[in-house]
Structure 1
Amino acid sequence: MVEVRQLLRVLVPEGSSTSGREAITILGLAGHHVEVCDPSRWCLARYSRFVRKFHHCPPLRSDPAGFLRYVEHLLSSQRFDVLLPTHEQGLAFARVCDRLTARAALALPDFASYRMVHGKAGFSRLLDQLGLPQPPTRIVTSADELRGAVRFPSVVKTSVGTASRGVWFVRDTSDLNLALYDLESGGDFDGEVLVQDLVTGTTEKAQSVFCRGALVGFHAYRQVAAGVGGGEAVKESVTRPLVRAWLATIGAHLGWHGALSVDAIMPLDSTTPLLIDCNPRLVEPVNAYRAGTDLVDLLLRVSRGETPAPLAESRAGVRTHLAMQALLGSASREGTRRDIVRECGRLAAGHGAYQGSTEELTPVRLDWLSAVPLAMTVALLLASPRLATRLARGGFGAHLLDRESIRAIESEDFCRTLSPSSYNGSSSLP
């Protein structure tokens, strides 16, 4: 018997991240009614035929209370079946989860658990507590402590940061001085800073969905080719039963409810991966979808109070790519216009690393509007390849959190700032 899925009205509370954009594709292909709110009028989600309506909202970074009031207004003034956090707004939602679940279905753990894994220092301590492997790690709070803790080569990370923000590769004294300058000028020693021994190997990611502490869905992939900032331009699904077991341990310990992902390094001289980061959300879920594991649908079901049976293992060897990441990566590695044109040719023909691979971020054949940001990226890089880093930084926008907004959300007064407010500034897609 073929299962008939209920079509839902889903609010995606940001449209700028690659993870959010990919979730929208999966939701749209399933036939769900998708609406998006984002502080940028020109976010990636604006260029999707699957988005029925766009709402211009206050920025999470500089006005988390205003952002939450806006989301509450949308949920109370319109009917949505599910609120689906796809990036850092989950921290704010976890802080006031009871208020939101009174208006729409939502899958999140308690705030303390979310906050623990949202910060790199908290996640590192949790790994130590559970006896799970990570690179040798020191946590410091001052420049002097950092100088004493660093061993070349190392990776220095701020506790708060996503999309490769707040990461320095320190191979010598010159790199260390640069990192110290950036950390001190940015005020990062107001919080915790991690120093990890640099481990050479392949970057991998694993993502999962939990239902009240029980793991019900899992998928892992490895990086085949890097894009700008170290993100994946080409990825391939893999089988990682050990990482699955570790994620199950973490989720059970925290009583996790919703999505949870980890980053890992597979060392060149070992078959045991090391956990290096955690994201309390799904990360670019299309590779899992193509490999037969629809984690977005599973998250919808968990959000709506179902207790689904665990999904079967996804297929290994399924390759997907992000053309925009590939082009930005080519240009950022001192690529010339000729290099960019050649990369376009390889993408179009499916040659090299793209052989047998499908596009996951801008699937033009499925969603013709997604051709717009892809074409704009190509045009800008051909005009000036040096724009690659600046274009990539455009994704580090107002939909993300920083130290100040996190402190505001954590404060005792935060919930009192969420007094009802009137909004009438939503706008529809053309």
Structure 2
Amino acid sequence: MIDAKKPLRVLVSEGSSTSGREAITILGAAGHHVEVCDPSRWCLARYSRFVRKFHHCPGLRTDPAGFLRFIENLLASQHFDVLLPTHEQGFLFARAASRLTPRTCFALPDFASYRMVHSKAGFSRLLDQLGLPQPPTRIVTSLDQLREAARFPSVVKTSIGTASRGVWIMRDAGDLNPALYDLETSGDVDGELLVQDLVTGTTEKAQSVFCHGKLLGFHAYRQVAAGVGGGEAIKESVSRPAIRGYLEAIGAHLNWHGALSVDVIMPLDSATPLLIDCNPRLVEPMNAYCAGTDLVDLLLRVSCGETPAPLAEGRTGVRTHLAMQALLGSASRDGTRRDIIRECGRIVAGSGAYRGSTEELTPVRRDWLSAVPLAMTAALLLVSPQLASSLARGGFGAHLLDRRSIKAIESEKFLRDLSTRRPGESRDP
């Protein structure tokens, strides 16, 4: 067992996501040696003084086998105490766990459990099995079935998708045909689709860390202001014992090991939270950290083989924000240059909704390099506010999965190909 209280050598599996970038700040502030691999040479993590070394790697989406070979070779040539999957890399690592376990420590459930909650359809079926609340949901497998299942207003989701990809809101019949066209042209209809009644309410997220089915840490926050694509620009910590109970039931049933997060709708006409999505990872853990619940440290300790005592819940009412998301959100809502300048002023002055709030993603005072992507985002939006959507799409890169790469990883051929070479052996010339 590794002593997780000492500085550790940690390999972070990607550096493009907001969740990964926030985890890096927490790890670096704790004194850990952090290295990052990512297919993008200009990912968010490149702009952090806490990253000791960056490794340019193949894309998880475009070359999952190549990405795994890269990780294996890196672990074979260098010592890392912990491999920390901060996004969808956990899907691949859970599939190939037996190859990685001899070389480093990590906390992941078995692949069947991971795959179940990674799929929106699988998670919906799990909620039905456990009797946990979700919006009225229909699972369909064709466009004809979608037409029959559509009620208005409703939300259509592809079974695989993250960061608001593969989601269509249909408020009336006029929204149905555009959704059908997008699904047909993108090929996303080749699989399961969820059709959920659209529930009016506030969006919240909860995240947790488990050790072999036992919940050890929990944190929840509500959305105060939305950024681009519906993500949180400003959030505030809340106490949600009911959602904690939901997560405990899910984690115990799956014997979950590692991080697990859920998205929740708090309906305006009901006191019952409704579960709408699941992520087998931590999602933007900085609000929890600022509230006094260090889930990243807890995940490191579980990864190292410890069984820590459960953490007390953090403080409520702790407000944090992501300035880049706030600026992108302002521009995406038909904001003008004047609107963006005003938003910048409120962020810098800490006024309005930012009063008493702490920056999550680009903590310039603690990590001066993080000012670079923030300043570039502001400058580009001032040149053209219409760039907001294209800038936001830059985060949906090759570090994420799609249906093709998921099918490749799930296939028996993928496992057979892995078994024909030793861990760490490369076929590259």
Fold similarity call, TM over 0.5: yes
Distance verdict in 2 for CA 1:129–1:40, change over 3 Å = same
What one-letter code is carried by the residue in structure 1 that aligns with 2:364?
V
Preserved CA contact (<8 Å) 1:13 1:84: yes
Which secondary structure state, in structure 1, belongs to the residue aligned with residue 412 of structure 2? Answer: coil
> How many correspondences in the alignment?
422
Deviations 1:177-215, CA, capped at 9 Å, x for gaps: 000000111111210000000001100000000000000
Residue 233 (structure 1) aligns with = 233
1:403 alignment counterpart:
403
Q: Supply the distance in 1 between the matched residues of 2:139 and 2:187 (Cα, whole angstroms).
A: 16
Q: Secondary structure at the match of 1:156?
A: strand
Structure 1: distance between partners of 2:428 and 2:75: 12
Distance (Å, rounded) in 1 between the aligned partners of 2:288 and 2:98:
30
Query: Counterpart of 2:182?
Result: 182
Q: 1:388 is matched with which residue?
A: 388
CA contact (8 A) 1:261 1:282 kept: yes
Instruction: Indicate the residue corresponding to 2:343 in structure 1.
Output: 343
Residues 4 and 304 in structure 2, CA contact (< 8 A), matched pair in contact too: no
Superposed CA deviations along residues 21-46 of structure 1, whole A, max 9, x for unmatched, are 00000000000000000000000000
| SS of 2:189 mapped into structure 1 | helix
Tell me, what secondary structure is at the counterpart of 1:278?
A: strand
Is the Cα–Cα contact under 8 Å of residues 4 and 301 in structure 2 kept in the other structure?
no
Opposite residue 410 of structure 1, the aligned amino acid is: E
CA distance in 1, matches of 2:175, 2:61: 29
Displacement of 1:416: 3.0
- 1:317 matches 2:322: no
Aligned counterparts, 1:174-253, within 5 A: 174-253=174-253
SS at match of 2:224: strand
Q: Which of 410, 426, 429 is the matching residue for 1:421? A: 426
Aligned partner of 1:170 in structure 2 is 170
Q: Counterparts of 2:171 and 2:127 in 1: how far apart (Å)?
A: 25
Q: Which residue is 2:6 aligned to?
A: 6
**Structure 2: which 5+ runs fail to align?**
none
> Which secondary structure state, in structure 2, belongs to the residue aligned with residue 413 of structure 1?
helix
Q: Structure 1 CA distance, aligned partners of 2:364 and 2:104? A: 32
User: CA-to-partner distance for each residue in 1:204-235, whole Å, 9 max, x for gaps?
Assistant: 00000000000000000000000000000000
> Partners of 2:72 and 2:31 in 1: how far apart?
25
- Offset at residue 422 of structure 1 (A): 6.4
Kindly indicate whether the alpha-carbon contact (under 8 Å) linking 2:164 and 2:229 is maintained by their aligned counterparts in 1: yes
Between the aligned partners of 2:342 and 2:403, the Cα distance in structure 1 is 41
Is contact 1:291–1:315 with CA below 8 Å preserved after alignment?
yes
In structure 1, what residue type is equivalent to 2:219? H
Q: Which moved more, 1:94-103 or 1:365-374?
A: 94-103
Q: What pairs up with 1:53-92 in 2 under 5 angstroms?
A: 53-92=53-92
What is the match of residue 99 of structure 1?
99
Over residues 262-286 of structure 1, what are the superposed CA-to-partner deviations in whole Å (9 max), with x where a residue is unaligned?
Answer: 0000011122110000000000000
Distance 1:386 1:294, change over 3 A: same
> Could you tell me how far apart the structure 2 residues matched to 1:147 and 1:334 are?
32
Instruction: Name the SS for the 1:320 alignment partner.
Output: strand
Confirm whether residue 277 of structure 1 aligns to residue 277 of structure 2: yes
Equivalent residues in 2 for 1:39-58 (5 A)? 39-58=39-58
Moved more, 26-35 or 262-271: 262-271
What CA deviation, in whole Å up to 9, does each residue of 1:308-332 have, x standing for no partner?
A: 1100011100000000000000000
Aligned 8 A contact 2:11 2:84 in 1:
yes
Q: Which amino acid aligns with 2:116?
A: M
2:263 paired with 1:258: no
Looking at structure 2, the residues matched to 29 and 391 of structure 1 have their Cα atoms a distance apart, in angstroms, of 28
The 8 Å contact of residues 10 and 32 in structure 1, kept in 2 or not, is answered as: yes
Q: Calculate percent identity across the aligned residue pairs.
A: 81
- Residue 366 of structure 1 corresponds to 366
Tell me if the contact between 1:109 and 1:258 (Cα under 8 Å) persists in the aligned partners: yes
- Which aligned pairs between 1:146-165 and structure 2 lie closer than 5 A? 146-165=146-165
Contact 2:10–2:33 (CA<8 Å) still a contact in 1?
A: yes
Match for residue 116 of structure 1? 116
CA distance, structure 2, for counterparts of residue 95 and residue 284 of structure 1 = 24
Please give the TM-score of this superposition, normalised by the length of structure 2. 0.97
Evaluate the alpha carbon distance shift between residue 197 and residue 4 of structure 1 in structure 2; reply closer, same or farther with a 3 A threshold.
Answer: closer
Aligned to 2:291: 291
Task: Supply the distance in 1 between the matched residues of 2:399 and 2:287 (Cα, whole angstroms).
Answer: 24
> Alpha carbon RMSD of aligned pairs, Å?
1.1
Task: Give the equivalent residue in structure 1 for 2:34.
Answer: 34
Q: Secondary structure at the match of 2:306?
A: coil
Counterpart Cα distance in 1 of 2:384 and 2:167: 26
SS of the residue corresponding to residue 343 of structure 1 reads: helix
Whole-Å Cα distance in 2 between the matches of residues 22 and 416 of structure 1?
36
Counterpart position of 2:21: 21
CA distance in structure 2 between the aligned counterparts of 1:320 and 1:106, rounded to whole angstroms = 28
Tell me the distance in 2 between the aligned counterparts of 1:74 and 1:422: 14
- The equivalent of 1:428 in structure 2 is none
SS at match of 2:272: coil
Which residue of 2 is the match for residue 427 of structure 1? Answer: none
**Cα distance in 1 for residues equivalent to 2:89 and 2:42:** 19
SS at match of 2:413: coil
Verify the 8 A CA contact 1:324 1:374 in the aligned structure 2: yes
